[in-house]
């Protein structure tokens, strides 16, 4: 979110809306005060990079879980 002067507002740190918006419809009140929503996107060229990183994470987790499962099965008393 950005304020009327264009500076980014940390919504996690300032979760309390301005006092001028008390009792009003918050989105339209904030819009009237000049606040606007900031949206950022990742560029298209990074799509496959994200896919590879995510696949690597899941493959590593699967390998760890397979190792743990095999250790549990092998060391378990019959």
Burial classification of residue 75, based on how many CB atoms lie within 10 Å of its CB (0-12 exposed, 13-18 middle, 19 or more buried): exposed
Query: Does pLDDT of 65 surpass 90?
Result: yes
Question: Is residue 21 within 8 Å of residue 54, measured between CB atoms?
Answer: no
Please indicate whether residue 22 or residue 68 has the higher confidence score (pLDDT). 68
Please indicate whether residue 15 or residue 71 has the higher confidence score (pLDDT). 71
Beta strands in 7-66 (DSSP E): none
Please indicate whether residue 66 or residue 78 has the higher confidence score (pLDDT). 66
Please report the pLDDT score of residue 61 as a whole number: 98
pLDDT tens sequence across 2-49: 777 777 776 665 555 667 777 778 778 877 877 777 788 899 999 999
Question: From CA 64, how far away is CA 74, in angstroms rounded?
Answer: 15
Question: Is residue 11 within 8 Å of residue 1, measured between CB atoms?
Answer: yes
What's the average model confidence in pLDDT over 42-68? Answer: 97
Query: What residues does each domain of the chain span?
Result: 1-40, 44-75
């Amino acid at each position: 979110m950005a304020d009327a002067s264009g500076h980014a507002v940390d919504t996690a740190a300032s979760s309390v809306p301005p006092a001028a918006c008390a009792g009003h419809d918050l989105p339209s009140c904030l819009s009237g005060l000049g606040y606007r929503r900031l949206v950022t996107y990742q560029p298209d060229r990074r799509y496959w990079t994200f896919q590879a990183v995510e696949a690597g994470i899941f493959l590593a987790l699967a390998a760890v879980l397979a190792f743990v499962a095999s250790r549990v099965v092998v060391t378990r008393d019959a």
